Amino acid sequence: MLSCSWGGYINRNCRIKCFNRIEIGKQVAISENVTLWDSDVHKITGSTNSNTKPIKIGNHVWIGTNSIILKSVSIGDGAVVAAGSLVNKDVPSRSLVAGIPAKIIRSSVEWV
Protein backbone atom coordinates (compact mmCIF):
# COMPACT_ATOMS: atom_id res chain seq x y z
CA MET A 1 0.00 0.00 0.00
CA LEU A 2 1.33 3.45 -0.97
CA SER A 3 -0.15 6.27 1.10
CA CYS A 4 0.29 9.96 0.14
CA SER A 5 -1.13 13.09 1.79
CA TRP A 6 -0.27 15.63 -0.86
CA GLY A 7 0.57 19.22 -1.33
CA GLY A 8 4.03 18.16 -2.61
CA TYR A 9 5.30 16.46 -5.76
CA ILE A 10 7.10 13.46 -7.17
CA ASN A 11 9.32 14.31 -10.13
CA ARG A 12 9.97 12.19 -13.23
CA ASN A 13 11.74 8.83 -13.34
CA CYS A 14 11.06 7.98 -9.69
CA ARG A 15 10.80 4.30 -8.79
CA ILE A 16 8.56 3.34 -5.91
CA LYS A 17 8.69 -0.39 -5.16
CA CYS A 18 6.03 -0.93 -2.51
CA PHE A 19 5.70 -4.55 -1.38
CA ASN A 20 3.93 -3.72 1.89
CA ARG A 21 3.83 -0.09 3.11
CA ILE A 22 5.30 3.27 2.14
CA GLU A 23 3.87 6.42 3.75
CA ILE A 24 4.54 9.86 2.29
CA GLY A 25 3.46 12.92 4.29
CA LYS A 26 2.23 16.35 3.22
CA GLN A 27 4.30 18.86 1.23
CA VAL A 28 6.99 16.31 0.36
CA ALA A 29 9.29 17.21 -2.56
CA ILE A 30 10.74 14.14 -4.28
CA SER A 31 13.28 15.04 -6.98
CA GLU A 32 14.13 13.16 -10.19
CA ASN A 33 15.40 9.57 -10.24
CA VAL A 34 14.62 8.84 -6.58
CA THR A 35 14.10 5.19 -5.59
CA LEU A 36 12.01 3.97 -2.62
CA TRP A 37 12.11 0.22 -1.80
CA ASP A 38 10.39 -1.27 1.25
CA SER A 39 11.76 -4.75 0.52
CA ASP A 40 14.97 -6.62 -0.26
CA VAL A 41 12.82 -8.63 -2.71
CA HIS A 42 14.89 -11.83 -2.19
CA LYS A 43 15.67 -13.59 1.08
CA ILE A 44 19.13 -14.78 1.99
CA THR A 45 19.19 -18.42 3.05
CA GLY A 46 19.43 -18.73 6.83
CA SER A 47 18.63 -15.06 7.47
CA THR A 48 16.11 -14.24 10.19
CA ASN A 49 15.68 -10.62 9.04
CA SER A 50 12.34 -9.56 7.60
CA ASN A 51 12.39 -9.22 3.84
CA THR A 52 9.95 -6.28 3.91
CA LYS A 53 9.71 -3.32 6.35
CA PRO A 54 7.79 -0.05 5.91
CA ILE A 55 9.17 3.33 4.89
CA LYS A 56 7.74 6.48 6.51
CA ILE A 57 8.44 9.92 5.12
CA GLY A 58 7.22 12.79 7.34
CA ASN A 59 5.77 16.16 6.34
CA HIS A 60 7.69 18.83 4.40
CA VAL A 61 10.62 16.53 3.50
CA TRP A 62 12.88 17.23 0.51
CA ILE A 63 14.51 14.20 -1.15
CA GLY A 64 17.25 15.16 -3.63
CA THR A 65 17.93 13.79 -7.11
CA ASN A 66 19.25 10.22 -7.46
CA SER A 67 18.68 9.34 -3.79
CA ILE A 68 17.74 5.85 -2.62
CA ILE A 69 15.56 5.22 0.45
CA LEU A 70 15.68 1.62 1.70
CA LYS A 71 13.32 -0.48 3.83
CA SER A 72 12.63 0.30 7.52
CA VAL A 73 13.67 3.97 7.17
CA SER A 74 11.73 6.77 8.82
CA ILE A 75 12.47 10.33 7.70
CA GLY A 76 11.35 13.01 10.18
CA ASP A 77 9.40 16.18 9.41
CA GLY A 78 11.33 18.95 7.66
CA ALA A 79 14.36 16.77 6.85
CA VAL A 80 16.46 17.18 3.70
CA VAL A 81 18.13 14.27 1.89
CA ALA A 82 21.00 15.54 -0.30
CA ALA A 83 21.29 14.44 -3.94
CA GLY A 84 22.82 11.01 -4.48
CA SER A 85 22.33 9.81 -0.90
CA LEU A 86 21.71 6.21 0.13
CA VAL A 87 19.43 6.30 3.19
CA ASN A 88 19.48 3.05 5.18
CA LYS A 89 18.92 4.47 8.69
CA ASP A 90 16.35 6.80 10.24
CA VAL A 91 16.70 10.54 9.64
CA PRO A 92 15.74 12.85 12.53
CA SER A 93 13.35 15.76 11.94
CA ARG A 94 14.92 18.93 10.49
CA SER A 95 18.21 17.19 9.68
CA LEU A 96 20.27 17.34 6.50
CA VAL A 97 21.74 13.97 5.51
CA ALA A 98 24.15 13.18 2.69
CA GLY A 99 26.42 10.43 1.42
CA ILE A 100 26.64 6.69 0.92
CA PRO A 101 25.47 5.67 3.42
CA ALA A 102 23.73 8.91 4.40
CA LYS A 103 24.99 10.62 7.56
CA ILE A 104 23.76 13.69 9.40
CA ILE A 105 25.57 16.76 8.05
CA ARG A 106 23.57 19.45 9.84
CA SER A 107 20.71 19.74 12.37
CA SER A 108 17.97 22.35 12.74
CA VAL A 109 17.62 22.93 8.98
CA GLU A 110 14.70 24.64 7.27
CA TRP A 111 13.91 24.69 3.58
CA VAL A 112 11.38 26.58 1.44
Over the stretch 52-101, which tens digit does the pLDDT of each residue have? 999 999 999 999 999 999 999 999 999 999 999 999 999 999 999 999 99
CB 69 within 8 A of CB 89: no
Positions annotated as catalytic residues are: 42
| Alpha-carbon gap, residue 46 to 111, rounded angstroms | 44
Determine the Cα–Cα distance for residues 56 and 99; give it in Å rounded to an integer.
20
| Tally of helices (H runs) and strands (E runs) in the chain | 0, 14
Give the confidence band of 4 by pLDDT, cuts at 50, 70, 90: low
Domain covering 28-40+52-112 assigned CATH 2.40.50.140 in the classification = no
